[in-house]
Amino acid sequence: MRSTGDDFDALFLEGYPRLVRTVSFVCGDAEVAAECVADAFERAYVRWRRVSGLDDPLGWVRRVALNRATDVGRRSVRGRRAVERLASRAMVDASRVDHGHGLDPAVAAAVRGLSAQQRAVVALHYLDDLPVTAVADSMGLSEGAVKYHLHQARLRLRDVLDVEGPGS
């Protein structure tokens, strides 16, 4: 199928639902699939002069969307493995952690009550003194995700430890 610049909208309207369904089946997550397909169509739009000249522009978009889904899946697996490794380190004997790092037992217990992801970002940011960018790189997350997890962890710790927040 050879397309002109005016055919992008038609290609999108025809191909988007099918590709989301296909990529969703491949990656197992409809939201991730929708993002990957949207990203692929965005890339096609930016390169439309070249992509429209291909025999199968929708095939090009499909390949880009599937590659993107594969990349997201790999990054997700790496992030999950990093969190599991960090979580297993965090599951060290509580008495050793409390005395070895000078953590108050109540704080150590509260930190153990956080999700694995929150524990990991808290440990990397506060115990290892890593900046948010380094935590994001280490865990394969965006900086925004790291900031979100830090914020949620602080809220949870504030509630559990009954500490007043800034401006309270």
User: What is the per-residue pLDDT for 100?
Assistant: 36
132-168: per-residue pLDDT in tens? 988 888 788 899 999 999 999 899 888 888 766 555 5
User: What is the per-residue pLDDT for 3?
Assistant: 46
Residues 6 or more apart whose CB falls under 8 angstroms from that of 80 comprise none
Q: Cα(30)–Cα(25) distance, rounded to whole angstroms? A: 8
Q: How many CA atoms lie within 13 A of 65 on its CB side?
A: 33
More confident residue, 143 or 101: 143
Mean pLDDT over residues 38-48, rounded?
Answer: 95
Q: Cα(60)–Cα(65) distance, rounded to whole angstroms? A: 9
- Whole-structure pTM value: 0.47
What domains sit in the chain, N to C, each tagged with a CATH number? Answer: 5-77 (no CATH), 91-161 (1.10.10.10)
Residue at token pair 């037992």: 105
User: What is the per-residue pLDDT for 136?
Assistant: 86
Q: Cα(3)–Cα(8) distance, rounded to whole angstroms? A: 8
CA dihedral 134, 142, 144, 64 (to 10 degrees): 160
Q: Cα(27)–Cα(126) distance, rounded to whole angstroms? A: 34
Q: Is the pLDDT of residue 98 over 50?
A: no
